[in-house]
């Protein structure tokens, strides 16, 4: 039962059918029986609960919060990811395995003019052994450019609950990338919409936890190795950035500051900047204060790094908690690190708000990617979009 994919069409159809059947049965037996008041109340209650369940199922399918029934009840498994990808999706590893399957997928799914190619794939990490799903966006014209051309890479991390599909289906990143690249507001990039929770139903916070879950290692080392092996990804920290919303925003800031040799920039959309422990995460740090401090962007931002980190911080005016976190963190950024703050846009903690700020994010990335070499310098700026 825990492996049932609750985002599948038949599950949604079944829930809606049960709702309709309950409503019809309640109406049919409305005036029958001796205990009319009791069975009427029971029927109405069942119908209302099923209506709410139907609405929740449709919303969950649209936002991709939970994939399986087990995840919904906190019983995630590492092997529950396979059902979230098409059967033909290739499995890619850092040793080159999966290249034939990748070529077949690209050949079978040619892009339309002006559109990028979105490739679903399992990424097999050589260090962690994790096999987690992702979607790889290749920019328009990728296949026709010279084989020697390399492209910058943007790693996208979702909130919790959420999946790699949250970026593509709910936020609309692939279409937004097509528009930005087509308008020359963003140079062609490879985008990696990655899964950050090795165990579904458990928020990893993208850290290497005291329990042995190595989400940080997977995202900061395994994913770049696999992507670099199978795609024309430019190497060097100046060509790699990480973007996240909500929990993914914490991940983006934390990973960029922990791994300045891997990432030069981080985009934080309605995120936070403190390591949390709650019911969704479990006890990630097991009382290890040093481990917790090592994953605290408020501390990391003040530490010396071999090269500066560039930050894009956003929160909508209706998202009070995210705004408070942003305004507390932004003043901690000093030269040579840089920060761009966007905090004057309407919107709350939702996909529409994050979609609306993507043009600003992409223009900022266009100025940032490729410009942050190992010894780059800069002046801290606290600015608003023009």
CATH number of the domain bearing residue 334: 3.40.50.1820
- Do 204 and 302 reside in the same domain of the chain? yes
Binned at pLDDT 50, 70 and 90, residue 27 comes out as confident
Would 73 be classed as within a structural domain? no
3-state secondary structure of 195: coil
- Do 105 and 228 reside in the same domain of the chain? yes
- Has residue 385 got a pLDDT over 50? no
Would 80 be classed as within a structural domain? no
Of 84, 78, 74, 79, nearest in space to 6 by CA: 84
- Whole-angstrom Cα distance, residue 131 to residue 195? 10
Of 171, 184, 233, 239, nearest in space to 376 by CA: 239
Would 375 be classed as within a structural domain? yes
Q: Which of 22-36, 142-156, 196-210, 366-380 has the lowest mean pLDDT?
A: 366-380
- Do 35 and 92 reside in the same domain of the chain? no
- Do 58 and 93 reside in the same domain of the chain? no
- Do 236 and 373 reside in the same domain of the chain? yes
CB-based contact 284:207 (threshold 8 Å): yes
- Whole-angstrom Cα distance, residue 162 to residue 206? 13
- Do 49 and 139 reside in the same domain of the chain? no
Q: What are 308-347's pLDDT values in tens digits?
A: 999 999 999 999 999 999 999 999 999 999 999 999 999 9
Is this structure's pTM higher than 0.85? Answer: no
pLDDT of residue 75: 53
- Whole-angstrom Cα distance, residue 223 to residue 217? 9
> Dihedrals φ, ψ of 342, to 5°?
-125, 105
Q: How many domains does the chain have?
A: 2
- Do 169 and 256 reside in the same domain of the chain? yes
Q: Parallel, antiparallel, or unpaired for β 265-269 and 310-314?
A: parallel
Would 124 be classed as within a structural domain? yes
**Per-residue tokens: 157:** 């991390």
Domain span including residue 210: 86-383
Q: What are 357-381's pLDDT values in tens digits?
A: 999 999 999 999 865 444 333 333 3
3-state secondary structure of 280: coil
- Do 28 and 121 reside in the same domain of the chain? no
């Amino acid at each position: 039962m825990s492996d049932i994919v609750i985002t599948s069409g038949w599950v949604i159809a079944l829930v809606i059918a049960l709702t309709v059947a309950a409503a019809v049965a309640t109406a049919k037996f409305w005036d029958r029986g001796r205990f009319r008041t009791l069975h009427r109340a029971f029927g109405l209650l069942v119908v209302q609960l099923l209506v709410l369940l139907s609405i929740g199922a449709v919303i969950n399918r649209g936002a991709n919060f939970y994939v399986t029934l087990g995840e919904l009840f906190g019983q995630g498994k590492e092997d529950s990811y396979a059902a979230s990808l098409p059967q033909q999706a290739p499995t890619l590893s850092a040793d080159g395995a999966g290249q034939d399957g990748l070529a077949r997928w690209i050949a079978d799914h040619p892009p339309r003019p002006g559109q990028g190619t979105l490739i679903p794939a399992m990424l097999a990490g050589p260090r962690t052994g994790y096999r987690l799903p992702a979607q790889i966006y290749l920019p328009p014209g990728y296949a026709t450019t010279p084989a020697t051309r390399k492209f910058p890479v943007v790693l996208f991390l979702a909130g919790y609950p959420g999946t790699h599909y949250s970026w593509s289906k709910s936020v609309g990143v692939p279409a937004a990338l097509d528009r930005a690249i087509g308008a020359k507001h963003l140079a062609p990039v490879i985008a990696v919409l990655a899964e950050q929770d090795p165990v579904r139903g458990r928020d990893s916070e993208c850290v290497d936890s005291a329990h042995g879950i190595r989400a940080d290692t997977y995202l900061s080392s395994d994913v770049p190795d696999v992507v670099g092996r199978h795609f024309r990804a430019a190497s060097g920290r100046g060509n790699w950035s990480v973007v996240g919303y909500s929990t993914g925003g914490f991940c983006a800031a934390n990973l960029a500051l922990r791994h300045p040799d891997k990432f030069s920039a981080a985009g934080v959309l309605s995120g936070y900047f403190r390591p949390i422990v709650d019911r969704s995460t479990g006890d990630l740090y097991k009382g290890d204060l040093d481990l917790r401090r090592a994953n605290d962007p408020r501390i990391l931002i003040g530490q010396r790094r071999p090269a500066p980190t560039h930050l894009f911080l956003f929160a909508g005016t209706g998202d009070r908690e995210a705004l408070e976190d942003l305004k507390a963190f932004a003043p901690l950024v000093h030269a040579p690190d840089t920060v761009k703050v966007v905090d004057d846009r309407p919107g709350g903690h939702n996909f529409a708000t994050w979609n609306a700020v993507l043009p600003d994010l992409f223009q900022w990335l266009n100025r940032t990617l490729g410009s942050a070499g190992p010894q780059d310098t800069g002046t801290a700026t606290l600015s608003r979009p023009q």
